[in-house]
């Protein structure tokens, strides 16, 4: 065996080890992104759901049973019902509803962004592991096929 053949074998083994380490790093990065929930998504659930429940509970238990449209028949200044002028329970309900709506919107945006990032990492993992690009573009079952391919590469390395 000549030195050229030995150096070719050595460079090939270095390339294979680099490929396996790149695949392993991309696989770990994908698994990390898949398991972690973004902080905005967690925060929006932590604030949004309780504020919606609190708003409904406030509306149910503090609704005013009085009729504000009735004629007082006397001195108007003495018979003013301030709960008719400024319905606090309705204002608080709308405030809680607005907060929970904003949190729901934040949760949806965070969820879509997280899914987009995971898809990007999955396609990067498919590219690094030399997964066929025609199969990686198919949506149905893509994750399972790519992960199965990567696991077989990582097991093959050991």
Which pLDDT tens digit goes with each residue over 40-90? 788 888 888 888 888 888 877 776 555 665 555 555 555 555 566 667 777
Q: What confidence score (pLDDT) does residue 6 get?
A: 44
Mean pLDDT of the chain: 75
Q: pTM for this structure? A: 0.63
Helix axes 142-157, 88-128, angle to 10 degrees: 50
Which of 38, 35, 33, 17 is CA-nearest to residue 125? 33
Task: Tokens for 57, please give them.
Answer: 């509970």
Non-local (6+) Cβ contacts of 56 within 8 A are 93
């Amino acid at each position: 065996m000549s030195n050229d053949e030995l150096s070719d074998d050595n460079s090939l083994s270095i390339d294979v080890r680099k490929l396996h380490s790149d695949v392993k790093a991309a696989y770990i990065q994908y698994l990390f992104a898949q398991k972690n929930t973004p902080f905005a998504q967690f925060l929006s659930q932590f604030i949004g759901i309780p504020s919606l429940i609190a708003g409904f509970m406030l509306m149910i238990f503090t609704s005013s049973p009085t009729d504000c449209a009735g004629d007082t028949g006397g001195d108007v200044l003495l018979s003013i019902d301030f709960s008719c002028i400024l319905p606090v329970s309705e204002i608080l309900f709308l405030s809680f509803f607005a907060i929970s709506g904003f949190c729901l919107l934040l949760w949806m945006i965070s969820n879509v962004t997280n899914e987009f990032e995971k898809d990007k990492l999955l396609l990067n993992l498919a590219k690094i592991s030399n997964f066929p690009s025609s199969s990686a573009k198919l949506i149905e079952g893509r994750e399972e096929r790519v992960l199965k391919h990567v696991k077989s590469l990582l097991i093959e390395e050991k």
